[in-house]
Structure 1
Amino acid sequence: RDLEGSYYLRQERDGLLFRPYEKEEKMKLQDSWIRDGVPPGFGKELFESDLDRIMDHVERATEMVPVLKNADIISIVSGPITYTPDLLIGPHQGARNYWTAIGFGTSVSVGLCIYLSECLFAVIPPFSSSVGYPKEERLAGRPTNRVSGVYELLKDRCSMGFHAGWEQPHYIHEPGDDSGYKPSFRRTNWFGPVGRECKLVMEGVGVIDLSPFGKFMVKGEDSHRLLDRLFANTLHMLTPRGRVYAEVTVTQTAPGEFLLITGSGSELHDLRWIEREVCDGGYAVSVCNVTDELCVLGIAGPKSRAVLQKLTDEDMSDTLAGVPLRTIRISYTGELGWELYMDMQKMSAVYEVLMEAGRDENIDNFGTYAMSSLRLEKGFRAWGAEMNCDTNPLEAGLDYFIKLSKPAEFIGKQALLEIRAQGLSRRLAFLTLHTDDIDPEGNESVWHDGEVVGNTTSGSYSYSTQQSLAFSYLPLHLTHAGQKLDVELLGQKYLATVTPEPLVLTEPTRTRLQKKQRSV
């Protein structure tokens, strides 16, 4: 396999088989097949050969293997080849003992075999095989068929992002903004609009489409026992090794009935884990994935209560503007806010009522970029970044959310007790950085005294405090407040300081402190 020449060569009986990988600009795409499907009756037909199109690859191959220069061409095969739009490897949700390795070439087959074998016997995949880039979007096949009830209302005002097959607003552009997808390792056209949205949520009221959340209904006589087994308290599911498998919000909707909510990228990951435990433990429960049936609108900001009070005289547990829904007093922004869950078909009606009710409060939309910045200011962890199957909840600073004294023998309990007894070697630290037009995103090297001592897990710009922020796992002796470090961004080291978290207090904490001060 010659990666630079973009071809592979192998023995085929007593000859050689040569196959090029054409450059994108020279490929002949069957657009009609994508749009209308493969023509009926198409079988093993071939296309007319075009050697001129692949001569660059042929010349590279003859340089590498000179015998090709004088070899006779026995046959030419010019046929269609298909590629999956994504690469899938690992256990398949919805089927027991079914594993996939889809979309990979033979050049990585040995690595895939090793990875799959470790997955099979270790229960938890040992590492992630994906490579990501800052705010990367893949535009082919967009929009996807997973769109919320407000997609048509927002699509022309938003930069949409791909989240577990869903289209979700990343940020909102207003007239005069430099709109469009403009990827960069540095701050680009999203920077100004995101700052505007953060201010909106901190000082006024904003609405965000959170429909990509994974949503499961768990019902049955063993539902309590199942959740006691799965959860280390009320939020986190652990692996048998005491690592953080998932972060899930659990809400009891009726006796023996629970609504479980997880992040968009964790939907099938978490569902498979729950279904596996149901099967292995023989629990009398049903688990139903209602992600596509339930949509979610988040409303947040100091004026959010005033907007909602115009629409209901109730405690907001059943209806809003006549639409049946469920509300949860929570917001990942850390500000006063609610998540509103309703039937997908009713979403646009509720959205328009909210926007009309909040007109005097200058209500507007915000996206996931702003939410990410706000959550980081508040010190909120994110699954897949600060916590995952490689980190335990104690080093992630999640002690408060774990109940080791819980009577139930939840998954990972004994392992976590052993981790606590042995002590930690590292801990998650909160960093502030002095940068120019670049911010950490995650997976950047952290340096101290000329050595790499850790890596960032996520990062963002804080519009409230006008500086860059990041989380990073560091050796214990480097986690005390005031510790100076360097974070490497695009080959340059920027000064970072370990800072007590959170940098911005959450709204409930601020409210409690204000009440306490008034009472004094």
Structure 2
Amino acid sequence: RETSSPSLGKDKADTVIIGGGCVGVSLAYHLAKAGLKDVVLLEKSELTAGSTWHAAGLTTYFHPGINLKKIHAYSIKLYEKLEEETGQSVGFHQPGSIRIASTPTRVDEFKYQMTRAGWHPTEQYLIMPEKVQELFPLLNMDKVLAGLYNPGDGHIDPYSLTMALAVGARKYGAQLNYPVQVTNLNSRSDGTWDVETPLGIIQAKRIVNAAGFWARDVGKMIGLPHPLIPVHHQYVVTSTIPEVKALKTELPVIRDLEGSYYLRQERDGLLFGPYESEEKMKLQDSWVTSGVPRGFGKELFESDLDRIMEHIEAAMEMVPVLRKADIVNTIAGPITYSPDILPMVGPHQGVRNYWVAIGFGYGIIHAGGIGKYLSDWILEGEPPFDLIELDPNRYGKWTTTEYTAAKARESYGFNNIVGYPKEERFAGRPTERTSGLYRLLKSRCSMGFHAGWEQPHWFYKPGDETGYK
């Protein structure tokens, strides 16, 4: 276990990173490795505190978006060589993963995703039930129609990953200081920042908010209450299962999309994590209005198995050996969601030299790639490739707390639904209203959503089902 004593070490820095989760430490590592020696990271508790330490650690090449595939691919390639580079074990397993299709519509979705795989080539195969069973022999095949197989996928230990990145960051000259809490941020007339802490002030050329579910509190220091909300996510770990222990190779990660859960091998047992419906999932919305409780760092929420029971039953049907297993551990912790489930990465408009890397519901797989992406952007003056979907400026003053909560609830519940191009989702809408909005709706107009405004798209034919009323 790593220990540190609180210290600032210096009173000036090129870049101050606020937050010592896997994303913040990855950025420190990449900036320092690229030659920027004057990098300081401040963490209020200890490295991995917040969401990183309790994450399930899943890694995958897959992403439905073309641009984020590059982020995932870079992360995996980095994690493969990080132990050799730093001497720090990362606990990286790559047994592959299989997304399960148990409906014809889901098979069509997989075929669609196969057509997009060429935009950033990685190994991905549409496999038939026989191959699915060969790779995961403990599966009940009654409903399995096909699988989307990514051979290089797997899982990594989040704590070990972060420690390896920290070793690398220090090796290349970055300073990681904790426990040091940032108490205030003040912009100076020359565009630099005074970062206030109980130990003194650091003057920084730029600051990067990578504070996880504390990011909203940090943003409030400069009048930017970022639209983020913590959600409760649970996963359970089972006791040893004889059928798992008897296997000669590690099982691939399974994602049962109709059951809305992931399942992977954990030693000689299984680890299972669901995504509940928007009606059943739980937000920690009190943190939005009152802030994160003082002292919260490596604490967990009380588990609630009743809330995920339908997913447990679905998993037992798909993987029958689960019925024999005892649950030996339940993890119920906070992860941070933005309204559209995507993180916010880059410079923020209207505030000079203020950058963000926040809103990561899947920070482990994003950490490596985002650290590299943001480092390149900071050092070169422009992003290495297009990631417009992560632009933090996609949200404006219209993004109310009520909208953020409604959209986060919807996004979490829609985690594993079949996605359609250009589909509209209606939670939290409308926000900004034009004078003719309700007349258009009454005339059966289909509305789109852009930067808080409702935009008319087209009109439904008589008898068609319309969207929100």
Q: Same fold (TM over 0.5)?
A: no
Query: With structure 1 as the length reference, what TM-score do the two structures score?
Result: 0.26
Q: Name the structure where helix makes up a greater proportion of residues.
A: 2
* TM-score scaled by length of structure 2: 0.28
